[in-house]
């Protein structure tokens, strides 16, 4: 396996596979972004919308695949390689969906160097994949921080923009922004996301946090690394007692990627789709 991104299929004209091929998966070695003295849990949650295979009688089936990769895996999977890999099943026959799921789980686990979780949503259950948007009522209120009168002119990640009021007592709150944008480090195509931050600590200035999120606008970085940078910067500058950072990226190439990083003990986010995905 290699971590040389210049050898990946991303950004290249690549023929679609005509048969099942697990070697299409291209691992990328994870880079350490979060300091080793900060305990972190989390995962990268992928949805694959382009998955079809043949039943034993040759009739095609379709499904929505969900793959959860632990954040401490040695490797990530390059997104276009996963797209090509999933399309390599188009003419392959399987006796049942369980056989296909087990095959994908084994292949991706080998590629990333860790055991991944894989599940399939079949068409009869598509109605359960409804849209989940933040709300301002109920047991968990998420505050939209996307309004501001300040001037914005920094479009490269800048942790010095962050502010918290250390004179105020600890609070617990959840905030979100739909304005996270970064660019693919290989193709420079835009990546769009909503980012959801839950923390317990001194109050974080919402306008300052928004300015920090907007500062990623011209940054080139993979989804996972962007989320880890946000997590690490918030931990370093604001020093919350608990922190959870979750980004829900708009799908591209039939895949959406949703990285989550948190301090131990935080509740994992729900895995339902946003309207932008």
* CB hemisphere CA count around 8 (13 angstroms): 24
**Torsion over CA: 118, 105, 73, 186 (sign):** negative
Q: Quote the CA–CA distance of 266 and 269 in Å, as a whole number.
A: 9
Which residue in 222, 230, 229 sits closest to 198, CA to CA? 230
Assign 211 to helix, strand or coil: helix
- Pick the catalytic residue: 21, 132, 158, 184? 184
Q: 44, 107, 191, 256: which one is catalytic?
A: 191
Query: Is 191 one of the catalytic residues?
Result: yes
Structure tokens at 25: 């998966």
SS3 (DSSP) at 195: strand
Hey, which residues does 124 pair with through a beta bridge? none
Q: What is the token pair recorded at 230?
A: 């946000």
d(CA 26, CA 235): 31
Residues tagged active-site:
184, 191
């Amino acid at each position: 396996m290699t971590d040389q991104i210049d050898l990946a299929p991303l950004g290249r004209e690549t023929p679609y596979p005509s048969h099942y091929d697990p070697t299409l998966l291209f691992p990328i070695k994870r880079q350490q972004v979060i300091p080793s003295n900060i305990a972190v849990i989390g995962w990268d949650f992928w949805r694959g919308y382009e998955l079809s295979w043949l039943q034993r009688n040759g009739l095609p089936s379709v499904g929505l695949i969900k793959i959860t990769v632990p954040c401490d895996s040695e490797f990530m999977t390059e997104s276009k390689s996963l797209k090509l890999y999933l399309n390599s099943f188009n003419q392959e026959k399987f006796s049942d969906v369980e056989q296909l799921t087990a095959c994908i789980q084994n292949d991706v686990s080998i590629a990333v160097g860790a055991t991944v979780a894989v599940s399939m949503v079949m068409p009869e259950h598509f109605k359960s994949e409804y849209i989940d948007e933040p709300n301002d009522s109920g047991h968990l209120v998420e505050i939209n921080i996307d309004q501001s009168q300040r001037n914005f002119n920094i479009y490269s990640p800048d942790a010095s923009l962050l502010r918290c009021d250390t004179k105020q007592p600890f609070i617990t709150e959840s905030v979100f922004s739909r304005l996270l944008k970064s660019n693919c480090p290989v193709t420079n195509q835009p990546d769009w996301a909503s980012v959801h931050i839950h923390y317990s600590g001194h109050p974080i200035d919402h306008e300052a946090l928004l300015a920090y999120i907007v500062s990623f606008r011209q940054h080139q970085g993979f989804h996972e690394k962007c989320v880890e940078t946000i997590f690490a910067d918030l931990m370093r500058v604001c020093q919350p007692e608990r922190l959870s950072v979750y980004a829900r990226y708009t799908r591209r190439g039939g895949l959406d990627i949703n990285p989550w990083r948190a301090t131990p003990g935080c509740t994992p986010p729900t895995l339902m789709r946003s309207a932008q995905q």
